[in-house]
Amino acid sequence: MQTKYLFYIIIGLLSNLTSVRAQQVIPSSKLTIQGRAFAESPGFHRVDTTKYHDLPPAVKKLYTHSAGLFVTFRTNSTKLSIDWETVDAALGNNSTPIMSRGFDAYVKESNGWRFAGVARPHLKNAESSFTVVENMEKTEKEFLLYFPLYKGLRSFQLQIDEGATFTPTVQKYDKKIIVYGSSIVHGASASRPGLAYPAKISRSINADVINMGVSGNARMELEVAKMINDIKDVDLIVMDCVPNSSPQQVKERTFAFVQELRKAHPNTPILLIESITRQIGNYDQKWKERLQEQNANFKTEYDRLVAAGYKNLFYIPTDHLIGDDYEGTVDGTHPTDVGFERMVKIIQPEIEKILDLR
């Protein structure tokens, strides 16, 4: 009887080993990193911070986050898993682990990209492994895989069925849009990476929307404008940077920032967006007054730019950006998925109009 049980144990172990071995590992080096302004950026960083050494230290660190970066590929695998490592396992108190440290997968259908699944990170370890989706039909599909929004990504590899086909792909876009802004652009507080508003707009209008958000640090420094000036073939620059700039900074820096951008992008449309109405100011009078002064100063500077002869400038006020029911944020400041969807419904039509995409 003991021999019989031992036989079954060995068979079970061999079966498990076969299952483990029946996986094809795809290293990240086989894929093309997309969604960033500079192809030559190291690793999974958005910007080569050694090249742009004059950027403020906090901004440089934030541009090592993989926000907005993604890969695409085709496979007929029935299962997709990911092993990855981020710089650490810490989480923000207003973000989901999936948004901050996880991956978000979509499959291309005839009517656009369709959500397929997420990779949930380990909550204590920087290293994680997760099966994004399984039990799929064995037909070839094209996947889009968004990277973590709020962490530096150190490494990742895909796992697919042994013997499954695999072809890296690169997306072709009609337009390139740079979105510079605060934590809201960076992605707080979407539930998963693909629901940050730059990513949502990108999928919707087939544009290469580059996420240049720097959480808490979008203060219109000239060094940032100079870096943006090195980005080639830009069709639109979006400035959604008012939330992080003090009223005085808005007053002192907006004109100079646009003036600097015009040195390399003399005719590129620039869309200026006021800060969303922060619902934390519903009862906190200091926050309410700060927001009103920020946006008022931004509008004054926009009007001053127009009066000075600057062309191709466009403006979106705070009105209705996250709705009017006070339920569009997670903490009174950062949009939920509902808040982001409301923002997209206002921002995207303006972008389509500016770029004549209708």
Mapping DSSP to helix (H, G, I), strand (E, B) and coil, where does residue 174 land? Answer: coil
Closest alpha carbon to 321 in 304, 312, 306, 334: 334
Closest alpha carbon to 69 in 48, 92, 88, 45: 45
Q: Let me know whether 47 and 195 are in one domain.
A: no
pTM equals 0.93
Q: Let me know whether 262 and 244 are in one domain.
A: yes
Of 169, 195, 219, which marks where a domain is finished?
Answer: 169
Q: Let me know whether 157 and 220 are in one domain.
A: no
Residue 12 maps to a domain: no
Domain at 282, CATH number = 3.40.50.1110
Q: Where are the beta strands (DSSP E) in the chain?
A: 23-27, 70-75, 80-86, 103-109, 112-119, 127-133, 141-146, 153-161, 166-169, 175-181, 207-213, 236-240, 270-273, 313-316
Q: Let me know whether 163 and 47 are in one domain.
A: yes
Give φ, ψ of 207 to 5 degrees.
-120, 150
Residue 11 maps to a domain: no
| 134-159 pLDDT per residue, tens | 999 999 999 999 999 999 999 999 99
Chain position carrying tokens 């109009």: 353
* C-alpha gyration radius of the chain: 22
Residue 3 maps to a domain: no
Q: For the chain, report the end-to-end CA distance as a whole number of angstroms.
A: 75
CA separation for the pair 112, 31 (Å, rounded): 21
Chain position carrying tokens 């080569």: 48
Q: Let me know whether 32 and 161 are in one domain.
A: yes
Residue 17 maps to a domain: no
Query: What pLDDT was estimated at residue 2?
Result: 53
Question: For residues 101 and 151, is the Cβ–Cβ distance under 8 A?
Answer: yes
| 256-276 pLDDT per residue, tens | 999 999 999 999 999 999 999
Confidence of residue 12 (pLDDT cuts 50, 70, 90): low
% of the chain surpassing 70 pLDDT: 94
Closest alpha carbon to 80 in 144, 145, 160, 22: 160
Residue range(s) defining the domain that contains residue 75: 24-169
pLDDT at 5 over 50: no
Residue 19 maps to a domain: no
Question: For residues 329 and 322, is the Cβ–Cβ distance under 8 A?
Answer: yes
Residue 151 maps to a domain: yes
> For residue 159, is it left (φ>0), alpha (ψ between -120 and 50) or beta?
beta
Instruction: Read off the amino acid at residue 120.
Output: R
Q: Let me know whether 161 and 269 are in one domain.
A: no
Measured from the Cβ of residue 240, the count of other Cβ atoms closer than 10 Å reads 27
Mapping DSSP to helix (H, G, I), strand (E, B) and coil, where does residue 130 land? Answer: strand
Of 119, 147, 169, which marks where a domain is finished?
Answer: 169
CA separation for the pair 2, 22 (Å, rounded): 30
Mapping DSSP to helix (H, G, I), strand (E, B) and coil, where does residue 110 land? Answer: coil
Measured from the Cβ of residue 124, the count of other Cβ atoms closer than 10 Å reads 6
Query: What pLDDT was estimated at residue 3?
Result: 52
Q: Let me know whether 322 and 189 are in one domain.
A: yes
Q: Let me know whether 74 and 162 are in one domain.
A: yes
CA separation for the pair 352, 94 (Å, rounded): 31
pLDDT at 15 over 90: no
pLDDT at 11 over 80: no
Angle at 243 between CA 241 and CA 248, to 5 degrees: 90
Q: Let me know whether 162 and 189 are in one domain.
A: no
Instruction: Read off the amino acid at residue 74.
Output: R
Domain at 110, CATH number = 2.60.120.260
Instruction: Read off the amino acid at residue 261.
Output: L
Residue 160 maps to a domain: yes
Of 169, 184, 215, which marks where a domain is finished?
Answer: 169
Q: Let me know whether 146 and 230 are in one domain.
A: no
Residue 98 maps to a domain: yes
Query: What pLDDT was estimated at residue 358?
Result: 73
Q: Let me know whether 160 and 185 are in one domain.
A: no
The residues near 209 (Cβ < 8 Å, ≥ 6 apart) are 35, 68, 177, 179, 198, 199, 201, 202
Q: Let me know whether 28 and 125 are in one domain.
A: yes
Instruction: Read off the amino acid at residue 183.
Output: S
From residue 224, alpha-carbon distances to 172, 228, 245, 261 in Å are 27, 6, 14, 10
CA separation for the pair 26, 5 (Å, rounded): 37
| 231-256 pLDDT per residue, tens | 999 999 999 999 999 999 999 999 99
Q: Where are the beta strands (DSSP E) in 174-267?
A: 175-181, 207-213, 236-240
Question: For residues 128 and 157, is the Cβ–Cβ distance under 8 A?
Answer: no
* Sign for the pseudo-dihedral over CA of 200, 205, 207, 209: negative
Count how many domains the chain has. Answer: 2
